[in-house]
Chains A and B, each alone.
Chain A
Amino acid sequence: MNSSWEREAVRLMSDANDSGKTQVNDIDRSIYDFRYDEKDFYRNDPGLTEEIVSKLSDDKHDPAWMKEFRLKSLAIYNELKLTNWGPDIGDLHMEHIATYVRPNTKMQGDWKDVPQDIKDTFEKLGIPEAERTSLAGVGAQYDSELVYHNVRDEVAKQGVVYTDFESALWGPYADMIREHFMHLVTPRDHKFAALHGAVWSGGSFVYVPKGVHLTFPLQSYFRLNAKGAGQFEHTLIIVDEGADLHFIEGCSAPKYNVANIHAGCVELYVAKNAHLRYSTIENWSKNMYNLNTKRAKVEEGGTIEWVSGSFGSHVSYLYPESDLVGERARAEFTGITFAGSGQNLDTGAKMVHKAPHTSSVITTKSISKGGGISTYRSAVYIAKNAAGSKASVSCQSLMLDSNSRSDTIPAMEVLTDDVDVGHEAKIGRISNEAVFYLMSRGISEEEARSMIVSGFANPVSKELPLEYAVEMNNLIRLEMKGTL
């Protein structure tokens, strides 16, 4: 992992001096920052009580076990304390949050049946276009419920299930869901996992049968339009033996001056020799508390690949975990985090090696700007029986000005000697010499800086689906605009 690129990053980002003074303007996020009225929407009372959770369950026509699960989760929520590490979430008051906002429509299988406002929203976000050109199936969630779900016929014919969670609870896969739902991430995990267990709504269920390889990705898009509300979607994916899936999730929201919360949960089951790539572009508005939990369990010879871009939200806690439980299971996490003004993003990954000859690779980049705080936090655990395993961690941070912050907090716990473990962390700034070099060819200073930042992000952006890579570069450009 000590490639020339890594070595060069140090030179390029020499933190020798910071004379390039930086003035940060407010960011124009107008491409995401549009919103609509909630007319005719149903919204539950703010706060978290047994009555509210009970009513939510009734409104959603849960099976009995689910209602029980919700109430138990609520009890755990009330019992658990907040973490004593990480960014401050003192301004998040659950008593002001509406946990359930139902749009004025049922889920549709045809775009033309989706209400106009909502259709406009997803048109602006490019979802129908992507569905036509490059996806095998699409789910679109608006506030608390899916408003559209569709999967190509030829994919469905292969036995692939891709559906909203609510109908899956009653369908032929009900037992499978009950066996897996919140078994990887349990309500006991942390306070917001318990919250999720109590008020989850929406999300997708995916099952890819043995040996089926999907050529095109499936994509779910989550849009939180409501003010002072939460989104708690649950994503459960089971990729059976030897199967192959690429799943993409995107999320965004318009900005409000009150807190919103996102506490979704993603559970991924990767069976023997199966392969799952899970890509995320997260673009929440800067009033969002993003307290999301993601976990994958990987059996023998299976592979999970996480690709993650975190750009939005006011505060994020996000550390996708991979449990490598079968021999030769592999996990890769490739992520980028961009913390701008008013953002405190605490992101990273966790790798748990529980079987011999497992391997994990973490590659992250973080960028902070305009007083933004970016913290890379990771944990690699190698159990005693995981002999012959390999783990490598590489995290690089780029600070674009002197009032931004970047921290790296990597932890490793290795209980066997027979392992190959590597770690490197680098924090730096854009070197003025590199800017001068680009400018000497006729490139403006602003362009030179954004080229360097895009180049820094490139190892991650090239892993993203094309339209998201373009989006990410546009975001960087947007974030870099007016930084001089």
Chain B
Amino acid sequence: MGNPLLDVQHISVSIDEKQVLHDVSLQIGKGETHVLMGPNGAGKSTLGNMLLGNPVYHLDGGKIIFGGKDIDGEKTDQRAKDGMFLSFQNPLEVPGISLETFIRSSLQQRTGEHVKLFQFQKDLKAAMQLLNMDESYASRDLNVGFSGGERKKSEILQLLMLNPSFAVLDETDSGLDVDAVRTVSKGIEEYQKKRDGALLIITHSTKILESLHVDFTHVLVKGTIVKTGDGALVQEINEHGFEQFLGTGGSEAHE
């Protein structure tokens, strides 16, 4: 590839002075779908949070280049405006702000432009239909009282509405039943195909990947990427688990 959209160069990341990621490098091109797998506590979520600049995490070394720009020192909202998105593993409830208002404010802040209500509501309705979300969720407080499945759908709804160039999906499939996984996959597929969005899908199961095209698969063990392969690697892990990689990770394990 030429200039990748995201170029992670040898980053080491710590939280509370404990190093979680060691010398991780990763390149993701425009429209590519990458899968990041690994056992619990390998540091997968840390990578997602670091990319979006969660201030809890500290970049000890290396560089993150996004869209040709070193984003170290950029705040989370700026990274989002640059085109990044993170689907949260545990989306937070925010009382008093409706899902619809939240998405519309986000869009307005991202683009700096007024979002026309009529078109916005039309798009929102279509996206909710695609995700089998009841329309009433639009006026409900953000994630408040949503079931696990509805929360994940709400994340994918935001993905579709905000239309970033790159999205990290952190365990979007965890805790979902078969039908919900299928629905969420449909949303992700829409983002992949119709919007040519790049993805980093963090998961430790493979259910969600069944209907999605995958370009690259990375295996993260103990804070280090120990193997990178194509989509077929997903199938291999599906059959054999992570056992084969466990001896090969970094020196420290973290939960």
Contacts and interface: CB of A to CB of B under 8 A. Distances in A.
A454 B158 contact: no
A443 B77 contact: yes
Contacts of A11: 92-93
Interface string B34-75: 000000000000000000101110000000000000000001
B92 A441 contact: no
A335 to B, nearest CB: 16
A436 B54 contact: yes
Interface stretch (A147-155, A246-254, A270-278, A444-452): A444-452
A297 to B, nearest CB: 34
A444 B77 contact: yes
Given A5-B141, A5-B144, A8-B144, A442 B96 contact: no
A459 B106 contact: no
Chain A: interface secondary structure? helix
A355 B110 CA distance: 57
Contacts of A448: 77
B76 interface: yes
B251 to A, nearest CB: 28
Chain A's interface size range is 20 to 34
B92 A442 contact: no
B94 A436 contact: no
B95 A442 contact: no
B75 A454 contact: no
A456 B95 CA distance: 6
Interface string B78-115: 01110011101001111111000011011101100000
A456 B94 CA distance: 8
B144 A441 contact: no
Contacts of B94: 12, 434, 437-438, 451-452, 455
A105 interface: no
B76 A451 contact: no
Contact of A441 (B95, B141, B162): B162
Contacts of A19: 55
Interface in B105-150: 105-107, 109-110, 141, 144-145
B93 A436 contact: no
Nearest to A452: B94
B105 A451 contact: yes
B95 A12 contact: yes
A442 B144 contact: no
Contacts of B86: 440
Contact of B75 (A4, A445, A452): A445
A439 interface: yes
B55 A436 contact: yes
A433 interface: yes
A458 interface: yes
B141 A439 contact: no
A457 interface: yes
A457 B96 contact: yes
A439 B106 CA distance: 9
Contacts of A440: 52, 76-77, 79-80, 84-86, 88
B18 to A, nearest CB: 16
Contacts of B97: 451-452, 454-455, 458
A436 B97 CA distance: 16
B215 to A, nearest CB: 24
Interface of B: 52, 54-56, 75-77, 79-81, 84-86, 88, 91-97, 102-103, 105-107, 109-110, 141, 144-145, 158, 162
Interface of A: 4-5, 8-9, 11-12, 19, 431-434, 436-445, 447-448, 451-452, 454-459
12 contacts: A12-B94, A431-B92, A434-B92, A436-B55, A437-B92, A440-B88, A441-B162, A442-B107, A444-B109, A454-B97, A458-B97, A459-B95
Q: Which 5 A-B pairs give the minimum distances between C-beta atoms?
A: A455-B96, A458-B96, A442-B110, A441-B106, A442-B80
